[in-house]
Structure 1
Amino acid sequence: MADVNPFYLGAFAVYLLIVLGIGVWGYTKTSDVMDFWAFGQEMGPWLATWSFVANFVSAVSVIGFIGAVYGEGYTLMTHTIFGLMLGTSGLYFAVDRVRNLDLLTFPDIIASVTGYEVARPIAGAVLLGNGWLYLVMQLVGASLLVTAITGVPYEYMVWVIGIVFIVYTVLGGLVSVAWTDFLQGTVMVGAVLLALGYMIFDFGGFTAINQQFAALDSAYVHPTGEGAYTAIGIIATIVAFFGTIFTEQNNIVRIAATRDVRTAKLHLAASGVILSIFYSALVILGGATTVALTTSGLAVDNVDSAFPVLITDYVPTGVGIIIILAVMSAILSTTDTRLHSTGITTARDIYSYFRPDSSDDSQLRVSRIATIAFGITATAAAVNPPGTIIELYNFRAVLLTSAFLIPVYLGLYWAGLSARAILASIVTGATLGVGTEIAGGLFGVPSTFIGVGAATLVLIVGHFLLSDTEPKGGTMAGD
């Protein structure tokens, strides 16, 4: 504790107190379950935009992506970020259909497409796995950063951060989440741009950064890392991250929370512009971080530690505080959203299926209990994480895209598609996608292609085998 920087520790403490205060205020504005789940479906374009931006940018984006650039260079822009931005653009063209369904969750959409209510708990189980992984990633990123700047042992800091975000999310639901996101998104984008401005000034310009980055390794500035990524691998990654935008529970909830279709489309368009600028700046900041640490003899063994080391050992304290606020904003704004989603998924998509006559009050209570349970278990797992941030991020991208992208969105646009085939496709895609990701692929084929390909095959074959043996249309409650 002798190396504690009181300015960093003070900034961190004040930040946590502010978001807790917003959580308490959000509790006073939450009168029923729809307020807790979806802001009463009254979210306007300005709040929706910044909430989406803040939710989108996470520990993966700031710590994980800068760590990825530190280890592999600008290739991150070629596959992962391109896939994310392509997915955001694609969702804009589907958002009117999604919003006009007037459904709250992604499993609601699947049940509507298939006509089978049992689709809700099946899809909900997949989404809970994804949400839990995302919570672990966020806690790892936040705790690595704060441990580096305060000197507090990592295993203690995980629990401090975990308890704070559990409390304010449980208190106000999406009301608390949206307004903290508004604050955090604004701080995050502004602070990252200021930090990049400092690094550009420090190195004498953008060109100087790139020249020194290339001098370290020419592969760093090559779109494919000079062969480090094959064309099929890049395409698979693009598909994986494209699919996550369409299949994230929190994205669907935010669309449902907007007041109308026009607001839903406007907030996606504005968010896409802001995020494109932000990620371009972030990748360049990753290159500058690599140059700064390498030329200063501050190389790190774990790439996830690159950005925290830049803050503690390279930049001045004033700039460091700005960067810390940016990273904490990115982390907490995404963490609370995913945690909020696990509560909705548990209560709306699983509990209410088995208890269809449950009251709004009981569903609200289940949401809050589930939020606490998932938060605590994710915090416990983050004490000894099962992989790096970017590894966990890739894993859940394969899970979501393999399970949902083809069967759900094809079902939205193909009238009469076999409901049972859709359900079989979801289960097959999730199982094979995750299984081959754990195994490292199969016969050199990326796990995304295996999961999506298997889901597509089962969907088409199943449609022709089952379409004449099942009822069409309408929701079959209790089936």
Structure 2
Amino acid sequence: MADVNPFYLGTFVVYLIIVLALGVWGYTKTSDVMDFWVFGQEMGPWLATWSFVANFVSAVSVIGFIGAVYGEGYTLMTHTIFGLMLGISALYFVVDRIRNLDVLTFPDLIANVTGYQIARPIAGTVLLGNAWIYLIMQLVGASLLVTTITGAPYRYMVWVIGTVFIVYTVLGGMVSVAWTDLLQGTLMVGAVLLSLGYMMFDLGGFTAINQQFASIDSSYVHPTAEGAYTLIGIAAIIVAFFGTIFTEQNYIVRIAATRDVRAAKLHLAASGVILAVFYTALVVLGGATTVALETTGLSVETQDNAFPTLITDYVPSSVGVIIILAVMSAILSTTDTRLHSTGITTARDLYSYFRPESSDDTQLKVSRMATVFFGITATAAAVNPPGSIIELYNFRAVLLTSAFLIPVYGGLYWVGLSSRAILASVVTGAILGVGAEFAGGLYGVPSAFVGLGSALLVLFIGHVLLSDSEPKGGTIASD
């Protein structure tokens, strides 16, 4: 603790107090389960935009992506970020159909297109696994940062941060999440742009950064890292991350939380513009981080430590505190969203399926209990994480896209598609996609394509065999 920077530690403590205060305030504004789940479906485009932006940018984006640029260069823009931005653009064109269905969650949407309520717990189970992995990533990123800047033991910081976000999320649900996202989203975007401005001034401008970045390793400025990625590998990553935009529980919940279709479309359009600028700045900041660390001889143990090391060992405290605000905003804003989604998934998609007669008060209680449970277990897992941030991020992208992209949106737009074939496609895509990811691909085929291909094959064969022997989907029905 001798190396503690009191300026950084004080900023961190004040920040946590502010978000906790917003959580308490959100509790006073949460009167029923619809407030807790979807803001009473009264969220306007301005608040929804910044909530979407803050939720979208995470520990992966700031620490993980800058670490990825440190390790591989600008190629991140070629696949992962391009896939994400393409997904937001495409979601804009289907949001009106989703919003008009008046569904609250992604499993609701699947139940709608299949006509089978059993789809809700099946899909909900997959989504809970995804949310839990994402929570671990966020806690790892936050704790790495705070440990680096304060000197406090990592295992303690995990529990401090985990406890804070559990408390304010469980208090106010979507009300707390949305208003803390507004604060965190504006801080995050502004702080990253200011930090990039400082680094460009310090290193001689954008051209100088790129020239020095290329001199470290010429592959860093090549769109495929000069052979590190094949075209089929890049295509698979683009598709995997494109698919996550359509299959994340929290994006469907945010669409449901808007007051109408116009607000839903406006918030996606505005978010897309803001995020495109943000990620471009973030990747350039990753290049600047690499140049700064390399030219000053600063080494890091893992690529995830690159950005925290820049804060503690390169930039002055006045700039470092701005960066800390950006990173903490990114991490907590996404963490509370994923944690909130575990509560609504458990109560809405699992508990209410098995207990359809349960009251709103009971479902609100179940939501809060699930929030606490998943928060605590994810915090415990983050003490000894099963992989790097970017590795966990890639895994859950394959899981979501393989399981849901083709069957769910095929059912949404293909009238008369076999409902049982859709459910079989979801299960098959999830199992084979994840299995191939664990195996590192299948005979040279990327895991995302294994999952998508198997889902498409089962969907087609199942439709041919079953379409004449069952009622068709399109409206939510009982089993």
Tell me the SS of whatever aligns to 1:470.
coil
Paired with 2:230 and 2:434, the residues of 1 have a C-alpha distance of 21
Structure 1 position 192, deviation (Å): 0.2
Flag structure 2 segments of 5+ consecutive residues without an equivalent. Answer: none
Q: Quote the Cα distance in structure 2 between the aligned partners of 1:247 and 1:209.
A: 37
One-letter identity of the residue aligned with 1:381: A
User: 2:442 maps to what in 1?
Assistant: 442
Name the SS of the counterpart of 2:385 in structure 1: coil
- For residues 422-475 of structure 1, the C-alpha deviation after alignment (integer angstroms, 9 at most, x for no partner) is 000000000000001011001010000000000000001100101111122443
Match of 1:91 in 2: 91
Q: Which amino acid aligns with 1:412?
A: L
Q: Helix, strand or coil for the counterpart of 1:116?
A: coil
**Counterpart of 1:128?**
128
1:301: how far off? 2.3
Aligned to 1:62: 62
Query: Distance between the aligned counterparts of 1:475 and 1:406, measured in 2?
Result: 19
State the match for 2:358 in structure 1.
358
- C-alpha distance in structure 1 between counterparts of 2:163 and 2:469, whole Å: 50
Q: TM-score, normalised by structure 1?
A: 0.99
The equivalent residue for 2:305 is: 305
Q: Look up the match of 2:199.
A: 199
CA distance in 2, matches of 1:436, 1:118: 26
State the partner residue of 1:413.
413
Shift of 1:300: 1.1
Q: Give the Cα–Cα distance (whole angstroms) in 1 for the partners of residues 206 and 472 of structure 2.
A: 59
Amino acid at match of 2:463: H
In structure 1, list runs of 5 or more residues that go unmatched.
none
Q: Is the aligned partner of 1:345 residue 2:341? A: no
**How far apart in 2 are the matches of 1:375 and 1:205?**
42
Query: What is the aligned partner in structure 1 of residue 188 from structure 2?
Result: 188
- State the secondary structure of the residue aligned to 1:31: coil
Q: 2:94 is paired with a residue of what secondary structure? A: helix
Per-residue deviation, 1:299: 1.7
Counterpart for residue 293 of structure 1: 293
Distance 1:442 1:456 in 2: 17
Counterpart code for 1:240:
A
2:210 corresponds to: 210
In the alignment, the residues of structure 2 paired with residue 37 and residue 212 of structure 1 have an alpha-carbon distance, to the nearest angstrom, of 48
CA-CA distance at 1:70 after TM superposition: 0.2
In the alignment, the residues of structure 2 paired with residue 30 and residue 42 of structure 1 have an alpha-carbon distance, to the nearest angstrom, of: 13
C-alpha separation between the residues in 2 aligned to 1:383 and 1:444? 34
Partner AA of 2:277 in structure 1: I
Give runs of aligned pairs for residues 20-35 of structure 1, distance below 5 A.
Answer: 20-35=20-35
SS of corresponding position for 2:78: helix
Report matched runs for 1:242-257 at 5 Å: 242-257=242-257
1:210-289 equivalences under 5 Å are 210-289=210-289
The answer to whether the 8 Å contact 2:195/2:323 transfers is yes
Tell me what 2:326 maps to.
326
Structure 2 counterpart of 1:314:
314
Please tell me the residue identity of whatever aligns with 1:422.
I
The one-letter amino acid of 1:287's match is G
Distance 2:279 2:243 in 1: 18
Partners in 1 of 2:212 and 2:237 — Cα distance? Answer: 28
* Counterpart contact for 2:112–2:477, Cα < 8 Å: no
SS at match of 1:350: helix
Q: Percent identity?
A: 83
Number of aligned residue pairs: 478
CA distance in 1 between partners of 2:93 and 2:340 (Å): 26
RMSD: 0.5
**1:166 paired residue number:** 166
Alpha carbons 2:169, 2:176 under 8 Å: kept = yes
Matching residue's letter, 2:461: V
Q: What residue number does 1:475 align with?
A: 476
* Partners of 2:53 and 2:373 in 1: CA distance: 26
Give the distance between the partners of 1:173 and 1:19, measured in 2 at CA.
13
CA displacement, residues 372-418 of structure 1 (integer Å, 9 cap, x when unaligned): 00000000000000000000000000000000000000100000000
Question: Which amino acid in 2 is paired with 1:267?
Answer: H
Provide the rounded CA distance (Å) in 1 between the counterparts of 2:296 and 2:203.
13
Corresponding position of 1:177 = 177
Other structure's SS at 2:412 match: helix
* Letter paired with 1:476: A
Equivalent residues of 2:75, 2:222 under 8 A apart? yes
User: Residue 476 of structure 1: CA displacement?
Assistant: 3.1
Aligned to 1:401: 401
For 2:50, the aligned partner's letter is W
Cα distance in 2 for partners of 1:16, 1:372 equals 18
Distance, in Å, in 2 between the alignment partners of 1:273 and 1:377 is: 36
